[in-house]
Structure 1
Amino acid sequence: MSASTDPTRLSATVLSALLAAREISAEEAARAHLARIDALDPKIRAFTHVFRDEALATARALDDERRRGEVRGPLHGLPVTIKESLDMAGMASTLGVASRKGHQAASDAGVTALLRRAGAVILGRTNVSQLLLYHEARNPLFGQTASPWSLEHSPGGSSGGEAAAIAAGMSPLGIGTDIGGSIRIPAHFSGIAGFKPTLDRWTNQGSNTALVGQEAIRAQVGPMARSARDLALVMAELDPAAMAELDVRVPPFPLTEPASVEVARLRVGFYCDDGLVPSSTAVARAVVKAASALRARGATVVPFTPPGIPDAIYGYFAALSADGGATALSITGSGDGAEIDVALRSLRTLATLPPIARRAAARVAGLAGERRLQRLLEVTGPKSVSELWGITHALRSARAAIASAMRAESLDVLLCPPYATPALPHAASRDFALAGSAAMLWNLAQFPAGVVPVTRVRAEEARRERPRDRLERRAAEVDAKSEGLPVGVQVVGYPFTDHVVLAAMIAIEDELASEPDRPVTPVVPPA
């Protein structure tokens, strides 16, 4: 089978067109992807479940429908995969915790149900970080997922299984969730595209979280694929008007076509560093390269850094730790025998520190020159209700200040890093959460944001000069192992301008399509 006819090498958009033209059947597409899963997933371990028999039966039924002239739309017969944290009827969304294995869902998550209705063929569910709380895809229940670019590296998290499956060609399209970069960071690490819509633009019904009831920072369901056009395809097909019937939080108006956006009329801001963990050289270069791509398409591009980023990010951690970790610990258990991933052990220790010990540790960190660690220790830990309300107010004020500053510069979209470094070696996310600040900002601001692949790390970029503290030393260790890994750029827009963000992402991809160092997927993991 040639690259031009192998369904596993085709984008979701191209595969959808071939299915519509009946040049390939849904069963053929499903079989090809299932065969690739058999061949590659023993190394990558992206999947928690593979629905072989169900997928083939569904594909055959959809082929019969098409032969009768009953076509559901562009997703008819298209293979897809779904993050393990999204409900599927009769199955448990464990979040990588054994104690949740008996909690079977009564019905599908809203997006899962709409995918079935649209004729998608669900191949399987994909792996996550335990409790969805760190930027890897590893947990004691399903093990560790590797990047197809390098088996020594993580595909990111928490939607890392999705990213790995898509990057390896085991799925053309997937659904993830994002509370702190959990779609966008895996896309960046894995050389694919991912999109976090405006909060509640897509239904979040049936999306599970470790922090039930916490709404200062909310997770958002969104698509992942190998191209921004594929993201636009599924965003258009899963109509918010239909979602609004399932979920009263979703505004019932359709997505504007990204093709209607005149990219040449856009005014684009960009920044390479948010003042927390300095960006790797390759990450900063990717932002500049994406800015040049939009400038080549006629857009006006200007430097711009949103105001108050460090305060907002520490507010993010303050809000998520307001219960002192009690909710998460109640799921995993707190005893010596509790199965807790290495990346969560420091968080457990931090969350359970008595206030006097926390203050002492913060002082010690400050005296040692660890200013960022000092402030993190100062803001985390249990809070009173009035303190949480104050934090929430500050986060909403930060959102308003960012929007106001962007409008003052007449910006339409913003380019920035998705993460401070390229992909992490396994277990490197421990004590490195601040590196995800560039993605976390847009969760607390509730803006739509997506990531597209731009370049790969050059040999001379795999180093970092004069690290100042433990965070920068960790970043230097990551950079030293990053040569050849993919690097993406984050594209951000105002709430409910999802189509503008997607249009800018598509323009960047198109402009850079012939660049020799642009990451191209699918990839086969090294031997």
Structure 2
Amino acid sequence: QSGRHMTASRPPDWSKAVKPPHKSRPWGPEAVKCIDVIQAYIQRIKEVNPFINAVVKDRFEEALQEAQQVDRLLSEGVGDEDFLQEKFPFLGVPFTVKEAFALHGMPNSSGLVSRRNLICTSDAIVVSRLKQAGAIPLGVTNCSELCMWYESSNKVYGRTNNPYDLQRIVGGSSGGEGCVLAAACSVIGVGSDIGGSIRMPAFFNGVFGHKPTTGVVPNDGQFPNARGVRIDFLCTGPMCRYAEDLKPMLRVMAGPGVEKLKLDEKVALEKIKFYCMEHDGGSVFVSPVDKEILQAQRKVVEYLEAQLGVQVQHVSIRRMKYSFQIWSAMMSSKGSDGQETQMFIDLLGDHGKPVWPSWELLKWFLGMSSHTFPAIALGLTEKLMKLSPAAMAKLVNMGQSLRTEMEDLLGANGLLLYPSHPIVAPKHHFPLGMPFNFAYTAIFNVLGLPVTQCPLGLSTEGLPLGIQVVAGPFNDHLTLALAQYLEKAFGGWVCPGKT
């Protein structure tokens, strides 16, 4: 099943999913060697990546060398199992990284043609922490241009395809990461999220993704990074196939800041106050919620009530109807320090030659632009559709009121169930017709709340279903606990092709 056997017409054998190495003892005569695990994942990537185009640059040779070092460490008997678990909790575990993050020796273009030759000489903080915990990076994965669109496609690496249906999107901007995990080409991954960029790909690809409470996991070492008020909205977080990996990943990625998240507190789910919203209230800017997504959410409610003996309270939060408008206004507002928000067209030019969106649009029609249509459209929208100061202030105030309302509702012991997206993974280019569907995830970025996307099996078309679990600030341990509970109840990740 190596790469040399691939042809464009032959579908990949999705069933050959490799079990993660940290599910068994890391040493002993019966153990699988780290070098064997890394080789298996490399072969897996070579087999399926020609179809999905998720890994855009690999470091296979370096990964194999690092695997040999792990095997030598274990053969020398350096410390017992408890010592190794404490010092290297992800020893020998393969992982992948969204290309927007710095990984030494790898590109860091974020799909921007002008940065295509940029090679990192250092690691982003979260990448460094995972490497120090023993994890072995296999390569970097695709994203949308400048991480501001929910289809992962750009002029540097091309388009990534959903492993459940190659004609469907993987989401964005951490779409390559969600895809590579779903296709069993990696065990854990690093993503970032300012409008749902972890949770949408996790939903479309049927894996777990967690947006932590704002300000806990460092965002340093990614491009583009947040400035001004957006610092309060951008979150770096874990993505994985198995819910049990979320907490140890978050612990490593957060570093000293993890103390704020109460991850060691035991959670009694039967004592949690559960709330449920089935849709945003009917915004004209987004699609109605699919029937199968609603059915999956109702099954969760029924299961919790039957198994835990809790009462899930259905709530209607009026301001959620204005999620897109609130997110858009708060993303464009000034920070508390008065710093202006960075313009998207400045990022398109990578702080060099200015980019004129109208000129780029003309070039795009002629097939001459180095930018994607969504990036050009965003630049035009930013330039032509500015809100008045009064309208901006009204929406920002609405967002602040919604944050207070949500925090009061959830308190220290509440969880909200909410759709991850109004529709299952759409076909390529569909987002151009419904560009604001991401509002279902984006609203929680400006509210600063922790959210976990949990898979809930597959639709009748064989596409992933899922749900968002939302908690109050710094109560990430609640959403992670429910994620593990729902995984046991509904099966979690389903290998593509196994329907």
Aligned with 2:380: secondary structure?
helix
Q: Post-superposition shift, 1:382?
A: 6.6
Tell me whether 1:78 sits opposite 2:56 in the alignment.
no
Match of 1:280 in 2: 290
Q: Is the 8 A contact 1:148 1:525 kept in 2?
A: no
Q: Is the 8 A contact 2:57 2:107 kept in 1?
A: no
Q: Is the 8 A contact 2:260 2:474 kept in 1?
A: no
Aligned with 2:454: secondary structure?
strand
Match of 2:345 in 1: 326
Aligned with 1:421: secondary structure?
coil
CA distance in 2, matches of 1:325, 1:165: 28
Match of 1:520 in 2: 494
Match of 2:5 in 1: none
Q: Structure 1 length as normaliser, TM-score?
A: 0.79
CA pair 430-328 structure 1, distance change in 2 beyond 3 A: farther
Deviations 1:46-67 (A, max 9, x none): 0111111000001111111122
Q: Which of 166, 191, 199 is the aligned partner of 2:214?
A: 199
Q: Is the 8 A contact 1:157 1:182 kept in 2?
A: yes
Q: Is the 8 A contact 2:276 2:416 kept in 1?
A: yes
Q: Post-superposition shift, 1:229?
A: 1.2
CA distance in 2, matches of 1:453, 1:488: 4
Q: Is the 8 A contact 1:269 1:414 kept in 2?
A: yes
Match of 1:401 in 2: 405
Match of 2:156 in 1: 141
Q: Post-superposition shift, 1:82?
A: 0.6
Q: Post-superposition shift, 1:293?
A: 2.6
Match of 2:9 in 1: none
Q: Post-superposition shift, 1:148?
A: 0.6
CA pair 123-107 structure 1, distance change in 2 beyond 3 A: same
**What RMSD in Å do the two structures reach over aligned CA positions?**
2.7
Aligned with 2:216: secondary structure?
coil
Deviations 1:77-119 (A, max 9, x none): 0001010011123444211001123544442111110011001
Tell me whether 1:352 sits opposite 2:330 in the alignment.
no
Aligned with 2:432: secondary structure?
coil
Q: Which of 470, 478, 489 is the aligned partner of 1:511?
A: 489
Over 6 Å off, 4+ runs: 386-390
Superposed, 1:203-218 pairs within 5 Å as 203-209=218-224, 212-215=227-230, 218=233
Match of 1:269 in 2: 275
CA distance in 2, matches of 1:382, 1:107: 40
CA distance in 2, matches of 1:156, 1:254: 28
CA pair 201-178 structure 1, distance change in 2 beyond 3 A: same
Deviations 1:178-222 (A, max 9, x none): 111111111111111111111122221212227644527521111
Deviations 1:336-380 (A, max 9, x none): 343221333332332232xxxxxxxxxxxxxxxxxxxxxxxxxx4
CA distance in 2, matches of 1:441, 1:493: 13
- What one-letter code is carried by the residue in structure 2 that aligns with 1:330? G
Q: Post-superposition shift, 1:328?
A: 3.7
Deviations 1:434-456 (A, max 9, x none): 21212111111111101111132
Match of 1:432 in 2: 434
Q: Is the 8 A contact 1:210 1:328 kept in 2?
A: no
Deviations 1:483-522 (A, max 9, x none): 2211111111111111111001111111223xxxx7512x
CA distance in 2, matches of 1:38, 1:327: 37
Match of 1:100 in 2: 115
More deviation, 286-295/267-276: 286-295
- What one-letter code is carried by the residue in structure 2 that aligns with 1:290? V
Match of 1:115 in 2: 130
Q: Post-superposition shift, 1:311?
A: 3.3
Q: Is the 8 A contact 1:150 1:525 kept in 2?
A: no
Match of 1:381 in 2: 386
In the alignment, structure 2 segments of 5+ residues that lack a partner are 2-14, 79-83, 334-340
Q: Is the 8 A contact 1:217 1:319 kept in 2?
A: no
More deviation, 190-199/104-113: 104-113
More deviation, 202-211/445-454: 202-211
Q: Is the 8 A contact 1:131 1:210 kept in 2?
A: no
Superposed, 1:450-489 pairs within 5 Å as 450-458=452-460, 483-489=461-467
- What one-letter code is carried by the residue in structure 2 that aligns with 1:267? K
CA distance in 1, matches of 2:398, 2:118: 36
- What one-letter code is carried by the residue in structure 2 that aligns with 1:224? M
Q: Is the 8 A contact 1:96 1:141 kept in 2?
A: yes
More deviation, 126-135/295-304: 295-304
CA distance in 1, matches of 2:65, 2:224: 31
- What one-letter code is carried by the residue in structure 2 that aligns with 1:326? I
Corresponding residue pairs, total: 453
Superposed, 1:36-185 pairs within 5 Å as 36-70=44-78, 71=84, 72-185=87-200
Match of 1:368 in 2: none
Q: Is the 8 A contact 1:294 1:504 kept in 2?
A: no
Aligned with 2:162: secondary structure?
coil
Deviations 1:157-189 (A, max 9, x none): 111101111111110111111111111111111
- What one-letter code is carried by the residue in structure 2 that aligns with 1:300? Q
Q: Is the 8 A contact 1:315 1:395 kept in 2?
A: yes
In the alignment, structure 1 segments of 5+ residues that lack a partner are 245-249, 354-379, 459-482
CA distance in 1, matches of 2:425, 2:182: 13
Match of 1:374 in 2: none
